[in-house]
Structure 1
């Protein structure tokens, strides 16, 4: 039958922790959130577990119900502990709320509400069918797990991570234009691991023409990662026929605009939840000016140039008090380089 978690508050919390662990097995990229589900029998025994493996695959609740049946367990009268409110719409798969109703589940505990205009409302559907619903168990951890998706759904645009690779004095290239390589191999390997987790990666036509980047995600041995982000080129100029961005290693989208709001809207329409911006300074500056940067990945090398191209151009800040601020969430030493990860500071905290 499986292990006993207990139906006490402590047992429910333990089951939610397990559901969060299961959810983290799902892909960080893609249009759908990572979700985990644990089914508890009335005596607190775990009778089924599941997680969402990506768009088009069964949702966590359905996967957990299938697991229960595989174990020979009857889910009638069970409690479903889920990291996200069960969905209430038919998309690539059917509504999870109805699947729980049909299975005879009597209690549902979820960590956070589903903010989707189409997918939300599952809790109300469950209550209408006599199922007891409890929420906000391990809510902070659940929100952190899906914060890219949650932001994209609520804000109507992708979560934007701005990546810079600079010298100690903030330069991305020397005065003669050379920029390979400011950071070392460990930092570049880490940057590829980030690429493999995002939905899209953007550069300007200027960067594309100057550097001829592939914008692919690579494994440490140099091979292509299993997931490749959508490559986005922003700007009006054409890419030459032999550009690496025209190869078949990943899809490329050319947005012939300089309007970052149009860029973000177009990507949102394609269900892009997490956008990584790598270059160049013009795009970084435009996004900063539009207050559309949610996270910074600043790779800093112990190099000083004294001159050369800066990471960003002026974008209207004339006094320190007006400068946008982020709070540091993590730091990593990568060989001789340092990575600072920071997120925007809400206005109420500034």
Structure 2
């Protein structure tokens, strides 16, 4: 009997792990382009021996970090004398330090935690995926493809403009022209870490939105009391998965928001000045790409959060609709009260999209950032005049 019980336990554990891996494989298959990019960077190794992938990931991190540090030291040295005294000397130092910190810190977090985050999320959503009969993940595929294309476009376009500037404008001022050009190339390519981190969050968020939408469809199609409590249990587990995802990505999203905001502050006025100067047209293209990238990342974060929040609220609305217009299975008052309690429980588990009490993620944040940037540019122009 003991042997039989151990055998049954092993079968259950094996089936659960296999299903979890299958869900992870479904997610990786839907986000295939993103998965390949993460594998190239050594951030998301495939199942199996991970030693080689971990070594490659740490090597990429060290190479990109030293390139950013090298360029930061070389380019910041001329501005040290006027730091906190001269505004044109202070702003570049703040800009370069924020970019160096943002890229290196997000890269380190992804290197240490990304595999565990995705595995844990798949483990939490494993039962939900099976109970909802494995919904179609085509929207996850679209988000990942669009995100990877945008990431490659931004990094390569910035690299092209940077190489032009290095060749014709800054080489004469550098003591290490060839070495500095190579390091600048690596540094700009490392900026893809910022976009990649947001695309991962967006693809994971779209996975949750897909489950919520499938839950709403099934709730509207079957109004029996048994199914209602079954679906409310799924909604509660989805809320827990959303809370887990937001808590794990909170620091990454906060750094991305700070970086995007600083880009808008530092580069908007620079772009206006470069457009006015005929000899800086190429540099203005580079600056405009940086600005648009910052806006797109901030918009994608806020858009993903709003989609998750709306999908979660829609699941509650579908349950309320069935409670207010009961089917033949929900006729008694105590039954309707039970449904109400389930709805209250789900509403209590809805995640709060607030990063360490500092930033509340929503599209209103994007509007506030743009208003602050416009006010800053106007004030800076007034000081200049």
The TM-score by the shorter chain falls in which range? under 0.3
More helix by share: 2
